[in-house]
């Protein structure tokens, strides 16, 4: 029974909760904008490489390092962020991440040559690697489980739309402006986010002293860095040694790294705690997430080859053709989040994985005579399928963990994103390149050889996508109590 005299006090508590909720939403919005800009920056460079090759007087292989160095830095730092998020407060980590990204953007905007631009990309990536796990951990600590799906829908916009529209924005900028404007136009947004975030970001975790295991840091750098570098080089290396040697070193180092983490986590000393994988929901979600990232990045890199090399579509038109898919993913993500909050992930994942697989199989019939608008329709369908996947996967995977594992879970998600993205790009490009080389040697035209290579590459992707469908049946909605949920229940009482 409610005490009549407690009415004004209850109202005060509710008003305070509302203000706190509004502030938390603003904090999360700042983090979302920051991560969006950073991931957009990660993918914006691909279209610019030919321009940079000419303007900076460098070889294409050297220009490729502007992307490879970014990916390598991300792969090395992200596994360490789980420990960083436990050791340091939220606000200083945000300032460090956004400060590094802003500094790198300034350096890139004024870079006089290739070496300084490469340094700028490494500095940018250092900030980007910290920000995504920071966003995920903040959301998991601030947002109640009952509405977490809708918020994860917003994160899905960042993860899926930014890579999709990066080439479009890059193409539009380069068609009218100098390449430096790719960084000049981003800089005010980065500085604004840094300024506002430094004032408003609050600490949402309780730091605790943790020992840094130096051998684990070294093994992590060799393992994740070697694998990403080797995968990134598979389609472009001039000799097999350039790709297979770092890949082999990376795999061995990664195996030793995993063994060491399994031993250290018994004393709660692991650099990257692997206990999230003991949760069924998390494991199956990560498997599906990896497959989704392989297909998304592989498709993003392959479709421009097909549209330009086979159908002879202008580069600017290619960017515009890929834009609707990214926009649709962004529009659908919040609605998918609401459906998740009501119905859970299983139905969404089954439908989404089936659409993605069917679409990839449909792309295996592309040839020299395909109407380019059919490619637009196929890309839109793929985007719809991926939109149905990302939000449930983020929410169900991390929502099934205990709060003390949020930071390590988000670091695992970020690491898998980098590894799967590199693997998808390498797989699709390598398969396509091998078929093109084989057919070109036998006298086939470039258009015919490229179309055949793309069909085979999509066949590989379609086969891989089939494994996601049965995995979808094992992902369930689980509620994990957090401090936020407990606080809300106290206020409600």
Query: Cα dist. 333→438, 468, 482 in Å?
Result: 42, 20, 24
pLDDT of 302 > 70? The answer is yes
| Mean of pLDDT over the chain | 81
Per 3-state DSSP, the chain is made up of helix, strand and coil in percentages (nearest 5) of 85, 0, 15
pLDDT of 20 > 70? The answer is no
pLDDT band at 4 (very low <50, low <70, confident <90, very high): very low
CA–CA dist 73, 107 (Å, integer): 17
Across 409-433, average pLDDT? 83
What pTM, to 2 d.p., does this model score? Answer: 0.76
Across 108-122, average pLDDT? 92
CA–CA dist 436, 235 (Å, integer): 12
Q: Residue 295 has which token pair?
A: 């297909």
Q: Give the distance between the most distant pair of CA atoms in the chain.
A: 90
Per-residue model confidence (pLDDT) at position 148:
75
Lowest mean pLDDT among 10-24, 128-142, 352-366: 10-24
- Among 399, 409, 405, smallest CA distance to 79 is for 409
Per-residue model confidence (pLDDT) at position 255:
94
Contact 222, 65 (CB under 8 A): no
pLDDT of 285 > 80? The answer is yes
Across 452-474, average pLDDT? 93
Please provide residue 203's backbone torsions phi and psi, each rounded to the nearest 5 degrees.
-80, 120
Residue 441 in 3-state DSSP? Answer: helix
For residue range 54-70, list pLDDT tens digits in order: 888 887 667 777 877 88
CA–CA dist 243, 485 (Å, integer): 48
Residue 473 in 3-state DSSP? Answer: coil
Query: Cα dist. 493→4, 59, 67, 92, 490 in Å?
Result: 14, 67, 53, 35, 5
CA–CA dist 181, 109 (Å, integer): 7
Measured from the Cβ of residue 209, the count of other Cβ atoms closer than 10 Å reads 6
Contact 52, 66 (CB under 8 A): yes
Percent of the chain with pLDDT over 70: 89
Q: Residue 202 has which token pair?
A: 């609050």
115 or 301: which leads in pLDDT: 115
For residue range 197-243, list pLDDT tens digits in order: 888 887 766 777 777 888 888 898 888 888 877 877 765 666 777 77
User: What's the burial of 90, exposed, middle or buried (CB within 10 Å: 0-12/13-18/19+)?
Assistant: buried
pLDDT band at 37 (very low <50, low <70, confident <90, very high): confident
Task: Report which DSSP code applies to 16.
Answer: H
Query: Cα dist. 7→315, 435, 488 in Å?
Result: 64, 74, 17
CA–CA dist 310, 432 (Å, integer): 13
- Tell me the angle at which helices 49-56 and 114-142 cross, rounded to the nearest 10 degrees: 150
pLDDT band at 122 (very low <50, low <70, confident <90, very high): very high
């Amino acid at each position: 029974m409610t005490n009549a005299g407690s009415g004004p006090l209850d109202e005060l508590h509710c008003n305070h909760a509302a203000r706190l909720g509004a502030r938390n939403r603003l904090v999360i919005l700042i983090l979302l904008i920051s991560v969006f800009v950073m991931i957009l920056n990660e993918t914006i460079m691909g279209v610019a490489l030919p321009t940079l090759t000419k303007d900076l007087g460098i070889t294409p292989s050297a220009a490729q390092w502007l992307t490879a160095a970014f990916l390598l830095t991300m792969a090395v730092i992200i596994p360490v962020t789980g420990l960083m998020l436990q050791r340091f407060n939220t606000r200083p980590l945000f300032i460090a991440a956004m400060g590094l990204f802003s500094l790198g953007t300034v350096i890139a905007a004024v870079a006089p040559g290739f070496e300084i631009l490469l340094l700028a990309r490494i500095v940018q990536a250092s900030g980007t690697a910290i920000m995504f796990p920071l966003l995920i951990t903040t959301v998991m600590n601030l947002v109640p489980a009952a509405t977490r799906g809708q918020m994860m829908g917003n994160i899905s916009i960042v993860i899926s739309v930014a890579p999709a529209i990066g080439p479009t924005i890059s193409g539009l900028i380069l068609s009218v402006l100098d390449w430096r404007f790719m960084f000049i136009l981003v800089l005010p947004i980065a500085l604004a986010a840094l300024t506002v975030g430094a004032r408003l970001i609050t600490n949402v975790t309780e730091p605790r002293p943790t020992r840094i295991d130096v051998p684990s840091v070294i093994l992590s750098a060799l393992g994740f860095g070697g694998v990403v570098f080797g995968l990134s080089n598979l389609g472009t290396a001039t000799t097999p040694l350039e790709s297979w040697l770092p890949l082999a070193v990376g795999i061995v180092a990664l195996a030793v790294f995993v063994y060491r983490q399994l031993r250290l986590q018994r004393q709660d000393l692991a650099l990257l705690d692997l206990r999230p994988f003991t949760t069924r929901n998390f494991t199956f979600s990560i498997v599906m997430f990896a497959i989704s990232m392989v297909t998304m990045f592989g498709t993003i890199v392959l479709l421009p080859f097909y549209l330009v090399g086979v159908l002879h579509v202008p580069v600017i038109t290619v960017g515009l053709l890929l834009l609707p898919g990214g926009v649709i993913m962004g529009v659908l993500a919040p609605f998918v989040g609401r459906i998740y909050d009501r119905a859970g992930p299983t139905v969404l994942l089954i439908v989404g994985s089936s659409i993605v697989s069917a679409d990839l199989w449909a792309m295996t019939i592309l040839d020299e005579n395909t109407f380019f608008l059919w490619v637009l329709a196929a890309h839109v369908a793929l985007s719809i399928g991926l939109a149905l996947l990302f939000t449930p996967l983020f929410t169900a995977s991390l929502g099934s963990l205990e709060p003390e594992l949020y930071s390590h879970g988000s670091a695992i998600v970020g690491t898998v994103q980098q590894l799967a993205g590199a693997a998808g790009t390498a797989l699709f490009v390598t398969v396509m390149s091998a078929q093109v080389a084989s057919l070109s040697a036998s006298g086939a035209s470039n258009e015919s050889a490229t179309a055949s290579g793309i069909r085979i590459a999509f066949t590989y992707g379609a086969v891989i996508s089939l494994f996601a469908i049965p995995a979808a049946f094992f992902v369930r909605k689980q509620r994990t109590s957090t401090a936020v949920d407990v606080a809300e229940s106290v206020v409600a009482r």
